[in-house]
């Protein structure tokens, strides 16, 4: 198993191949699929958004058995996501968690709209997502960013990613212990829909 820094480097190199269209074609081959019948050992956990334009395996140029992917609108952190991360870390020894957000995120837009227009409350189920994103965006809406929609959206996406990273780091005693012992690293990252490039927020 790779360590966290090696896993992070492998993701960066994979994204570079994706951007330059030098992808590895054998990643989903029959041989690879059959080699995984007895089990898996993913080297990274990706908590990403459900957006159809941001499929983790493709944009990181990884294949069958490489990534343990959790997708939910707005890349939010709820008990089920934390439990899934705990499972992968404990079962497979996966050393890296990446919270992957992206620009033009619909969940972020819905949250900003709910903050600005409280009379237009989303459906009950959508509200369960909005309510998890909202705390990290409320202070942004009160700044001068409220007059610049583009910049507000940019900073809102980043704030939500950083909040999710913090929640993973500190909402689970088990994960916190793994991080403190150096066995696990949690970082944020943002995917650019225009460039195909992933920018990592380390530290």
Q: What average pLDDT does the structure give for the chain?
A: 94
> Which residues are documented as binding site?
49, 51, 102, 105
CA-to-CA distance for 42 and 83, rounded, in angstroms? 16
Q: What end-to-end distance do the CA atoms of the chain give, in Å?
A: 22
pLDDT over 90, % of the chain: 82
Burial of 89 (0-12, 13-18, 19+ CB in 10 A): buried
User: What residue ranges do the domains of the chain occupy?
Assistant: 4-103+164-201
Domain boundaries 4-103+164-201, corresponding CATH code: 3.40.1050.10
Q: What is the pLDDT of residues 143-187, one digit of tens each?
A: 888 888 899 999 999 999 999 999 999 999 999 999 999 999 999
User: How far lies 159's CA from each of 17, 79, 115, 126, in Å?
Assistant: 28, 20, 15, 20
Q: What is the pLDDT of residues 38-81, one digit of tens each?
A: 999 999 999 999 999 999 999 999 999 999 999 999 999 999 99
Reported pTM = 0.94
Q: Is the pLDDT of residue 33 over 80?
A: yes
Q: Is the pLDDT of residue 203 over 70?
A: no
> Which residues are documented as binding site for Zn(2+)?
49, 51, 102, 105
């Amino acid at each position: 198993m790779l360590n966290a820094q090696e896993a992070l480097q492998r993701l960066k190199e994979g994204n570079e191949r994706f951007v330059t269209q030098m992808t590895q074609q054998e990643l989903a081959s029959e041989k690879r699929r059959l080699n995984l019948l007895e089990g898996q050992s993913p080297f990274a956990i990706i908590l990403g958004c459900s957006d159809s334009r941001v499929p983790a395996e493709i944009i990181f140029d990884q294949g069958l058995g490489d990534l343990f992917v959790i997708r939910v609108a707005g890349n939010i952190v709820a008990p089920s996501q934390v439990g899934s991360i705990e499972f992968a870390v404990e079962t497979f020894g996966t050393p890296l968690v990446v919270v992957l957000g992206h620009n033009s995120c619909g969940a972020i837009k819905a949250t900003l709209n709910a903050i600005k227009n409280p009379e237009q409350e989303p459906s009950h189920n959508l509200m369960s997502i909005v309510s998890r994103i909202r705390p990290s965006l409320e202070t942004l809406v009160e700044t001068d960013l409220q007059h610049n929609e583009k910049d507000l959206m940019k900073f809102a996406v980043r704030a939500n990613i950083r909040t999710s990273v913090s929640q993973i780091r500190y909402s689970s005693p088990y994960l916190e212990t793994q991080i403190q012992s150096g066995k696990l690293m949690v970082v944020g990252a943002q995917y650019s829909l225009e460039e195909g490039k992933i920018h990592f927020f380390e530290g």
